[in-house]
Amino acid sequence: MRYFIATYTNKPNGSYDEAVKVEKNLKNKDLATASVIMDFKERKVLKLRLEDGTVGDKNWDRVWLYYHQHYKTMIEDLGRLNGYEIEIEEVNSKSTHDIA
């Protein structure tokens, strides 16, 4: 697995649904509909679209940290599968601000 993909769908009541998955390859549908696409092999944020449709800051460390807080096991497993280990001291010393 190489890609972490998050898709946010707005609901009529103002809240949103979040769906996350990991994929070996990107599909055209993912490129068109995903809100966030992270490439763990290249350590790049390929797509980061905020709720209002604007493009967010694609800083790898910042986006990685945000999703690590919510999907720790998934994010760490993706890192290991793509050839790097997570240093816990490094994670604990980083800021925990939102990705926007």
The verdict on residue 22 lying in a domain is yes
Number of structural domains in the chain: 1
Please state, in angstroms and rounded to a whole number, the distance separating the CA atoms of residues 50 and 94.
Answer: 22
d(CA 90, CA 48): 23
26 falls within a domain:
yes
d(CA 68, CA 27): 24
Residue-wise pLDDT for 5-50, tens only, equals: 999 988 899 888 999 999 999 999 999 999 999 999 999 999 999 7
pLDDT at 86: 72
| pLDDT value of position 99 | 58
Nearest Cα neighbor of 38 from 18, 56, 63, 57 is 63
Residue 8 covered by a domain: yes
Kindly state whether residue 98 falls inside one of the protein's structural domains. no
Q: How far apart are CA 62 and CA 90, in angstroms?
A: 12
Q: Are 57 and 66 in contact (CB under 8 A)?
A: no
**What confidence tens digit (pLDDT) does each residue in 38-95 have?**
999 999 999 999 776 788 899 999 999 999 999 999 999 999 999 987 765 555 555 5
100 forms bridges with which residues in the sheet? none
Is 77 within the bounds of a domain?
Answer: yes
Domain containing residue 59: 3-93
